[in-house]
């Protein structure tokens, strides 16, 4: 028998993967249990509020992991242009590796469920807030004036999210590279 925390983690990670690929409504609890290999009764034991709690926690987990990866992508970037390019390449690589089956772990769930579920909306908002704060921190480091940091961070985040969605639909990451080049121009203009 698996330790209590191990089963919970396995269910959570399996759900995060499925929600990222299939969305909230396209993912059934029976599928999560089957693919995680967890016993049927374990779902409501670990997630007493059911699918909504599982989705909220999955978004938080996936969001933290992507946020950490994005931070690593920009740490070594000497300037904003190369930093946003690194963020774009992180998302492009994920799309290519999954043959465009996996999009953003937040957007896939947010688009279909945030309006109908306050816990899911809150989880998505928290992740996007953390990502935006990380982008703002990087922009400050790259010399963007303080009065431009927050609006530019919002522009970078929303542009990247839109580019990832378009790339997934088009099955081509070119749009990500085009958008990050344009964002690089905006950052260059802000630092002049």
Q: What is the pLDDT of residues 141-175, one digit of tens each?
A: 999 999 999 999 999 999 999 999 999 999 999 99
Residue 115 is predicted with a pLDDT of: 87
Q: What is the pLDDT of residues 6-28, one digit of tens each?
A: 889 999 999 999 999 999 999 99
Q: What is the pLDDT of residues 114-149, one digit of tens each?
A: 889 999 999 999 999 999 999 999 999 999 999 999
Residue 100 reports pLDDT greater than 80: yes
Q: What is the pLDDT of residues 57-98, one digit of tens each?
A: 999 999 999 999 999 989 889 999 999 999 999 999 999 999
Say how far apart CA 15 and CA 124 lie, in whole Å: 15
Check if the beta carbon of residue 140 is closer than 8 Å to that of residue 146: yes
Where would I find the H helices in the chain?
4-22, 29-36, 42-46, 51-75, 80-97, 107-113, 118-141, 146-170, 174-190
The encoded tokens of residue 17 equal 């993967």
C-alpha 11, offset from chain centre: 19
């Amino acid at each position: 028998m698996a330790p209590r925390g191990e089963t919970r983690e396995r269910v959570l990670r399996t759900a995060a993967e499925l929600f990222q690929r299939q969305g909230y409504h396209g993912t059934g609890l029976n599928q999560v249990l089957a693919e995680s290999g967890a016993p049927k009764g374990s779902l409501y034991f670990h997630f007493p509020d059911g699918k909504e709690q599982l989705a909220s926690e999955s978004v938080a987990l996936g969001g933290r992991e992507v946020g950490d990866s994005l931070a690593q992508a920009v740490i070594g970037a000497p300037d904003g242009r190369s930093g946003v390019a690194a963020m774009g390449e992180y998302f492009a690589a994920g799309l290519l590796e999954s043959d465009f089956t996996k999009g953003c772990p937040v957007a896939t769930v947010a688009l279909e469920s945030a309006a109908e579920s306050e816990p899911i909306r809150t989880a998505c908002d928290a992740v996007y807030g953390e990502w935006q704060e990380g982008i703002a921190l990087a922009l400050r480091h790259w010399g963007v004036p303080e009065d431009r940091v927050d609006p530019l961070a919002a522009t970078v985040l929303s542009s990247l999210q839109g580019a990832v969605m378009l790339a997934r639909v088009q099955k081509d990451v070119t749009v990500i590279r085009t958008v990050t080049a344009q964002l690089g121009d905006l950052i260059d203009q802000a630092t002049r």
